[in-house]
Structure 1
């Protein structure tokens, strides 16, 4: 049975101005008591108007079946990610009824749970506290600009706010936010890459980047190398490995790295490129990159050894 302050505890006959206020109040009650809540089903009237709305404990119900019927005579097991279940048919709930078309009144309240409630020291993991706001977005954007991943960005945010309890979300929320941010620039990500290479060229005098466009003004081939890669080639470039991948990214472009081995037997990268297809013209272009100088245009091998 939840134990909390009577000020945050709902009661039968309590009136709310709207459905959102009722859910917010029950959610606050769940946080103070130690359980997560979620919206349930609704009973609607003739004109699709909500008459009853149900708010459940997060552990209400049972797991859905793992089998689906593909035909009348055949069944197939659905492959799902293995994860622990949180539902155990908890009966705790609150029911509100729409009266006068605007207000909602509590008609029933079941408080007893059939599981342990969350301890106060672990309540920062509840969905009530896991809210990704503008501050999290700003930290992720700043960290992404300096090539910091979501896990390290989560630890940086923890240091800024003081503790893990004050972060407001979990590391998985940071990972999901990072994935959503990577999907956001869809359609303009090639331009973002070229802008990044332009900035890198201003910072590194030895950075080289060349690219080709197709008839639709889309990048079909791109090549880049930096001063560290060129230095590695001058030292360990006696043998160069050129092994292209195939359709290993969502753009179905061929990733073509130039690699070698150092004096410790470890792999070192000299340069890399992306190609839209595996043909003679694409490989010829990436092996012989054209670069421009003030005196004119010339074509040289990108790995021409210095005397």
Structure 2
């Protein structure tokens, strides 16, 4: 077997763009290496002094990256780097396909580089679960030969590909290699054809390429710490399964100085699509898994238009350092390919706070109120928590304070009367009060993801699947079940909204208006506000031009069964038809409160103004006008198209599943549609059920 003769470093000591690899291994589209099904083949003979005709027009019109027949290079290695850089720019992977050696001295005198999708994968009948092929018989290639003067010249170049190109996710990046690899690979117990590598040093990410040894190190290394070899294999197997079913599944890994996995991140297609629609508010949740390294699973969770939790990405971290959290945040933000969230909710964790302040400086960071309240018994001890009056007053101070002044007055009285002035945790809570106390955050939209009232709770996405006794293997088994149930719940809610059999239970014009606008789940929450309107009375207290101040008196039943009246200040602007309540329900949850609607009714506004109807809560939250938009490419466009088509597909599925005839008609239609769409991009499709799209992967080096 011929070996590549170039070293991993250039003569000036700088690292090349690509690491040299064995002839039977392939540098893949997205920083990967895969076993070549072909043996080492030799091209047809060509004379070493054969003249070559230079294409003048191609040479004149080519830019610095374009190959053309007759282009000269100083060395074979230079041709490899050149074609690799061209492939990165255009968006495909390359492979060293043929080699030609001199019969006189066995020196390399010719090379052929091909697209990584060249060739046709040979079938193996004995394989029970064959992997999806990535070979599409692509003819794109570049052939070079060495002349007597030592120059290497392009003698053949085929530009056209028969598949989609990915210039933003190409595999070859100009950065130092993490390792070199000069020996033949071991038996392929672990397939490295779809592996992505994240690099070793801490800091802001920078893209680099991955070599075969890099990939194998991830899953074949002893993995003494921080992850065991069994954990690594479990992750790898899951990623391989996910790539088959998710056309744009992404995963990334960070290694420590000994090339062992430290942190891992992944996100599927739906997570990236959902972030485009519902990435305004995100919860960052951490859960400890059972192993001797105390690995934590961290998840990014959003809320869709049904008020359901949606997973926006996962990561495993093996240490709770600022550097690890920064890596996770920056990786996630890059993968989502959008701006940072407007608000993020986390546990009360000092290291996470510091990392968020650096990674998302413009994002409003809120500490989960439920997390704070659950820790009260643990932090304050029995002396306070066994006192029912203390618990009642603590909750009243936190939940019922309508102004900052009211909260701070109640807090001071509470801590003084219970001897907590010098309590360290209480002091820390008060210092961080603007991050967890509702009265400080009422003007920030949180999509209902953090508790605002006593008795409310927000569940983690994996609450029903993961606990402190869950191993990594068990978690991987459970995550697919959790995701499937999440997808099914959303589809069910979509269908219920489309069928819409909402029953109106009051005569309110606002109820009738929003019944056909909001999704079923959000409408039910809005309907709760409608039902409480009769308990409210609006009293005009002051008028100044277009602005009118009201006090809405709401009758409440207290815990002890006694009645009480709570006053809410509401400001109405007649010129702009704006209404603002001191409870800030709209600002916090995204729909109007009963107090605001009482005032609207009092001034004769019987339709809720459009500014108070958030599209993210409506039945068509994911629907867009693709045809009339100016954008026709990029990740955001893809996400919007995906969501729009998915909504139509649900309607088709509902109508087509009623009878066998409808079902058969829909199947024929879908098969024809898929074949037609695929042919438009010149992508061969033999079976509409084929799931052979590759994952989208990038690699980073951190400084």
Give the TM-score band, short-chain normalised: 0.3 to 0.5
From the CA coordinates, give the structure whose radius of gyration is larger: 2
User: Would you tell me which structure has more strand in proportion to its own residues?
Assistant: 1
User: Would you tell me which structure has more helix in proportion to its own residues?
Assistant: 2
